[in-house]
Chains A and B, each alone.
Chain A
Amino acid sequence: MSLPAHIASASASPGTRLPTYALVGNPNCGKSTLFNALTGMKQKVGNYPGVTVEKKVGTTFSQHGQPITVIDLPGAYSLAARSPDEAVTRDVLLGRRADTQQPDRILCIIDATNLERNLYLVHQILDLGRPVIVVLNMMDLAEKAGLNIRAARLEHELGVPVIPCEAVRGKGLVELRVAMSRHDLPLSRHAWEVPAPISAAVAELQASLTRNDLKSPLIARAEALLLLTDQDSIRVAGSTPLSPQTAEILQGWKTKWEGQGTDWAAVLVNSRYDAIGRIAADVVLRAGDQGPTTSDKIDAVVTHPVWGWVTLGAVMTLLFLSIFTFAEYPMNWIDDHMASLGDWVKGAMPPGDLRDLVTDGAIAGVGGVIIFLPQILILFFFIGLLESTGYMARAAFIMDRLMSKVGLNGKSFIPLLSSYACAIPGIMATRTIEEPKDRLVTILVAPLMSCSARLPVYLLMIAALLPGDRVPTWSKVGLMLLMYMLGTVGAFAFAWLFKRTLLKGAPPLMIMELPPYRLPAVRDVAFHMFERAWIFVRRAGTVILGISIILWFLSAYPKAPDTATPTEQIAQSFAGRAGHLIEPAIRPLGFDWQIGIGLITSFAAREVFVSTMSVVFNAGSDDADTAPLRQALLAAHWPDGRRLFTPLVCLTLMVFYVFAMQCVSTVVVVRRETNSWRWPLFQIGYMTGTAWVVCFLVFQVGRALGY
């Protein structure tokens, strides 16, 4: 059925604002590459209010240079949402979100190598009755796979412009821009038969949606079809709920069909695929079987029962090697420059509290966090690379079985593994986990993986625990590994516990596409890396600055007489008093008030413990060389003359840092990723609580055994 010309064109009258486009497509179809190619650096990234789904809006230009707004919607396989990401895509397209303007036109990108499954989403989108442009991406790969995709036939079948394209190489972008600049775009002529038992329900729901939910008739029809496919539809904050009248009609039909044994959702999906099958038969010419592809050959190794583990091990080793070697140069550079910045300020400002605030508070505090930025950047880059090449899905595939033992799925593996270097990129990478509860569990346990900021603390404590140069290296390494294992076991144990109690849910599914291996889109990966890092710096920066200043204030005030040494100053400061205050609580762990000062000042960042100890025990300020500090620690005593840093106390302190949530940056990132203060506060509570309990057990049992 074709519509009359005056209805069939959606015109934007000249002189008014240009139409807004939504960019939609399946995951792995090259959507972000196309979005970056269209909009360049002109993007705004944030969250949709109330949900942790990324909102990306960019500006591209028409062929006449006028700006066109493009909203990059999260990747989706279907509008019948199964994840918060997909729910946002659905809600924006249906105009259910008050915070986002309903797009005028839709840009549908599809992977030409995988036409049928990609057309499923297009088919749903055509129902919306908006002008649609279809972008046929990866035409070169389709050709290599022996598929001849006749774009003209697809255009004819769907009745909307179809632009063949290779987004990675920028091919087809000019044609796309021309199509996007058109004042009128045809509406789809594609009509499909809704099967008889369902069509009556669709009509009734459509009428109710128009009347009671004030939807336009076309959107109402699309929404009616969707309500019938959506089994337990995901609702996210910010979307308008269904009117009670419509909900009642929907329930009525469902009850009736359940009585008759009709599987309505299956009927609808089947008839869509029937229609798609007819289109694909006309559009795709297959040149016969091409034999195993390069991707198949890679997979034969990468997911092999033996070589699969070897590959995974090699990739992870490379990841950690590069974090701990390459990152060192920029980290030293930052360290030096922060120090010289501090010196410069010291020279430029008159001595006094304000100068100390700037140098010892702001510069030292922010510098202490910024120094981890190179590691964070490398980690973001690697995660992006793994995603972009398709290896991420394989790692999840291999690890799924192990992760399922604690009730998670394979997708939690990379976020947890990254957290060995730094929990921040790990937590930000959990967005690939669809199920919100699984994602939350992963976020909650990720900081238990021993990150690199714990290393200085572990190293100092091991040096104090095993003093002397004749201690065999293996015992030091063994002790270190023990700490890493303790954190890992803790993370999995808590994941298991949370999945059974607090965040109980169905066992997660592992329905995941394994996309073909592709050369990484390095430009997109780098862009993504900087974007992530900027979000982190912007978010954490102000909070870290604030906390650093507060912590500086606590150790600088009240002022001791001018003749006092730094050690005497910190001893009588607020931080020192707080150390005395918490001493009763930490005494059962073998810690005195001086260690307590370290626990307090390192709340913002774990490695601060080392520099605080060197001030508290007057070991000179050079914390890079731990030898004088080690001597100072060994000389420290309780008032009654007992040694403070006994081997057992050193061990207990390490255990404390394994479990305690001593990282403000992570707290801020968890706040952003869970959208409330509830979870980060819970996390501080359960981690610090566990740290106390485990330390108590270690210390008391150790002492009972005579250590």
Chain B
Amino acid sequence: MPEPVQLSKLSDLPVGASATIREFPKSGSAFVRLREMGMLTGTRVTLVRTAPLGDPLEIKLRGYLLSLRKTEADYVLVEIGA
């Protein structure tokens, strides 16, 4: 049995940290769009920064920058350092 990995919310990722998406919510319309923009299970993302007022977040994936609000990022679970 492989050791269960510790997953954290994308929104809890420290600034500058990279992680791999492990769990992505079922397809509500916002999440279908995020998928279509390349956020899939297994995709590597880096939390580049948060906006000056703490929300939204700016992440880097597949070589481009994307902003999304914490309300969406809360549902994306990532594995740090994988």
Contacts and interface: CB of A to CB of B under 8 A. Distances in A.
Interface of A: 77-78, 80, 82, 113-114, 116-117, 120, 145, 229, 231-232, 263-266, 269-270, 273, 299, 303-306, 308-309, 393, 397-398, 400-402, 404, 410, 507, 509-516
8 contacts: A114-B64, A117-B38, A231-B28, A231-B32, A270-B41, A303-B58, A410-B56, A511-B34
B29 A512 contact: no
A515 B66 CA distance: 8
Nearest to A295: B65
Given A266-B35, A400-B56, A515-B65, 18 more contacts: A77-B33, A78-B36, A82-B33, A113-B64, A114-B62, A116-B63, A120-B36, A231-B27, A266-B24, A269-B40, A270-B35, A270-B41, A273-B40, A303-B49, A397-B58, A398-B51, A509-B72, A513-B67
B81 interface: no
B9 to A, nearest CB: 17
B38 A273 contact: yes
A231 B53 CA distance: 32
B69 A509 contact: yes
A308 B52 contact: yes
A656 to B, nearest CB: 35
B67 A397 contact: yes
Given A303-B58, A401-B51, A77 B36 contact: yes
Nearest to B43: A273
Contact of A120 (B38, B41, B66): B38
B30 A511 contact: yes
B68 interface: yes
Nearest to A120: B36
Nearest to A79: B36
B17 interface: no
B53 A401 contact: yes
A305 B54 CA distance: 9
Interface string B3-34: 00000000000000000000010111110111
Given A509-B68, A513-B64, A309 B30 contact: no
B27 A266 contact: yes
B74 interface: no
A489 B63 CA distance: 40
Contact of A305 (B35, B52, B66): B52
B37 interface: yes
B34 to A, nearest CB: 6
Nearest to A511: B68
B68 A510 contact: yes
B33 A511 contact: yes
Nearest to B30: A509
A266 B26 CA distance: 8
A299 B63 CA distance: 15
A309 B52 CA distance: 8
B45 to A, nearest CB: 13
B53 to A, nearest CB: 4
A512 B58 CA distance: 9
- A-B pairs, 7 with minimum CB distance: A401-B53, A514-B65, A265-B27, A231-B29, A269-B35, A78-B36, A305-B52
A511 B27 contact: no
A287 to B, nearest CB: 13
A588 B30 CA distance: 51
Nearest to B55: A401
Contacts of A515: 64-65
A78 B34 CA distance: 11
Contacts of A404: 55, 69
A706 B38 CA distance: 66
Nearest to A410: B56
A145 B60 CA distance: 15
A114 B64 CA distance: 7
A401 B67 CA distance: 12
A366 B75 CA distance: 55
A266 B43 CA distance: 14
A270 B67 CA distance: 21
B66 to A, nearest CB: 6
Contacts of B72: 509, 511
Nearest to B38: A117
Contacts of B28: 231
A263 B40 contact: no
Contacts of A516: 65
B32 A265 contact: yes
Contact of A514 (B37, B54, B66): B66
A435 to B, nearest CB: 11
A289 B35 CA distance: 25
Contacts of A269: 32, 35-36, 40
Given A263-B27, A509-B72, A400 B64 contact: no
A670 B21 CA distance: 44
Contact of B65 (A266, A304, A513): A513
A80 B36 contact: yes
A116 B63 CA distance: 9
B37 A117 contact: yes
B27 A507 contact: no
Contacts of B53: 398, 401-402
